[in-house]
Amino acid sequence: MKIISLFNNKGGVGKSTLGFHLGHALSELGHKILFVDLDPQCNLTISGLEKEQLHKIWEEEDPYIDDYESASKNITKYNEVISKPRSIHFLLKPTEDGLNELEKHSKPLNLAPNLDLIPGRLSIHKFENKIAERWSGAYQGDNLALRTITNVRSICEKYSEKYKYDFVLIDTSPSLGILNKTIISTVDGFIVPAQPDMFSLYGIRNIGNSLELWQREFTTIYSLISIEKRKKFPNKFVQFLGYTIYNAKKYQKDPPNNKYNLAQAHYYYVEQIPGVIKEFIKKDNRSNLKAEIMEAPIGGDAVMHTHNTFPSVAQALKCPMWKVPDVYSALLKNDPGYLKEIELEVNHGSFGKYKATKLQYEIFAKDLLKRMGSL
C-alpha cells in the first residue's frame, strides 16, 4: 500500500477534480483505492456524494466533534454512529482529545467498485491546532505528540490493512501550514496539479522549500526518538512523483505552435516548470525518477486541456466524466424529475466526448503507476 497526496500551494487549480478522476481511473484499472479528503473545502467529497448526504454525516458527528468523550458515553448511540461511514475528522478526534485509540473503525463510504471514500469535514482546523500545540513534544518522544503527527498515516494504514487498498489518495488544502506539513511529510509520494501560470512556478518553489525545512525537522525528531517509536513513521521521506498541467486552454492552431498545444503565454510558464523543480525540490526527494520523466508532465498532455463544462456536469451526477452518458441516460429513464430539479441537460451529441475522457485519465493513471513503482 502506498499513500499519495495531491498538493498545490494555489487553490482552484482543479486538484480535487483531478484526484477524483484519478481515483476512478485507478480503480477501473483494477486497483483498490481509498480517498481521504483532508481539505476542509471538501471538494473531493462533494464530487462523490450529495451535499445533503454529507450534511447528514456531519450532523450525526456534531456532538462528538464538540466533546468526544462525553458524547460517546451513550453507548447505544455511539455504536449506531460508528456503524455508518464517518468523516476523517471524526476518526482523528480521539487523538485530538487525547483519548484512547478507536477500537472499531467505521466503514468507508463506497463510491464505485474498488473505490471508497473517507469524507472531509470543515472542522479539521481543530485537529490542526492540536498538532501545533503538541509539535515540540515530538522531539521529546512524547507519545501523544507522536500519535498526533502520525495519526493520518496510521488511519490510512489501518484501513488498508482491513480493506486491502493498493493506494490511498489524500486530497489536501492549498496551505503550507502544520496540518499539511504532517500529512505530506508522512505519506509516500505527492503530485502537484498545476495551471500554466506564475502561481504554479511559485507553488513548486514553495513546496520545495517547505519540504527541505520539514525534512530537517523530521530528521531531528527521528534522531531523538527511540527506534521503536521511529517505526510509526515511514522509512523514507516523501517523494515528488511529478506535476501535471491541468485545465489549460487548448490553442486551436494547425500545426500547433508548441508541443502541448497551448497558448504561447501559457506554454512560457510550462516550459519553466522542470527548471524550477530541479532547483527547488532536492534531488533525493525526487525518488528515482529519471530526468526526462521528471521533466515531463504526468501522462504527457493526456489530461492537460480543459474539459470545459464536463467536470461540473460530472460533479452534479456524482460520477467521473466518462460515466456521464450512462448515469444521465439512466436518470432520464428512471428519475427525470431529479434532472429537472437540478436543472441538468446533457446533449447526446457530446456523449462520445464524455466517454473519450476515460482513455485520457487511464493514460494519466498508468504513467503515475509507473512512477509510483519507484517509491
Partner 1 sequence: MEKENNIQEIIEYYEVKRFELEQFLAGVQTFFERHPVLNSKSFPIIHSIKSRFKDPDHLKVKIVRKFDGNHQIINKNNLFEKINDLIGVRVLHLYHDQFPAIHAEILKKIESGDWNFVDSPKAFTWDPESKKQYDDLKIITEIRDTFYTSVHYVIKPNNNNPVCCEIQVRTLFEEIWGEIDHTINYPQPTTEIACSEQLRVLSKLVSTGTRLADSIFRTHAHYRNNK
Cell 475522457 maps to which residue? 357
In angstroms, give the least distance from the CB of 78 to partner 1.
30
Q: Which is nearer to partner 1, 135 or 202 (CB)?
A: 135
Q: Which is nearer to partner 1, 76 or 223 (CB)?
A: 223
In angstroms, give the least distance from the CB of 290 to partner 1.
32
Q: Which is nearer to partner 1, 142 or 197 (CB)?
A: 142
In angstroms, give the least distance from the CB of 219 to partner 1.
9
Q: Which is nearer to partner 1, 230 or 355 (CB)?
A: 230
Q: E strand or H helix at 242, and its extent?
A: strand 239-245
Is residue 294 a contact partner of residue 242, using CB atoms and an 8 Å limit?
Answer: yes
In angstroms, give the least distance from the CB of 214 to partner 1.
14
In angstroms, give the least distance from the CB of 148 to partner 1.
17
Distance from the first to the final alpha carbon of the chain: 11
Q: Which is nearer to partner 1, 75 or 227 (CB)?
A: 227
Site residues for partner 1 per CB under 8 A: 136, 139-141, 220, 222-230
Is residue 6 a contact partner of residue 19, using CB atoms and an 8 Å limit?
Answer: yes
Please list, in sequence order, all residues whose beta carbon lies within 8 angstroms of the beta carbon of residue 338, skipping any fewer than 6 positions away. 331
C-alpha cell at 26: 485507478
Is residue 239 a contact partner of residue 287, using CB atoms and an 8 Å limit?
Answer: yes
Measured over the CA atoms of residue 24, residue 295, residue 286 and residue 147, the dihedral's sign is: negative
CA–CA gap between residue 349 and residue 338 (Å, rounded)? 21
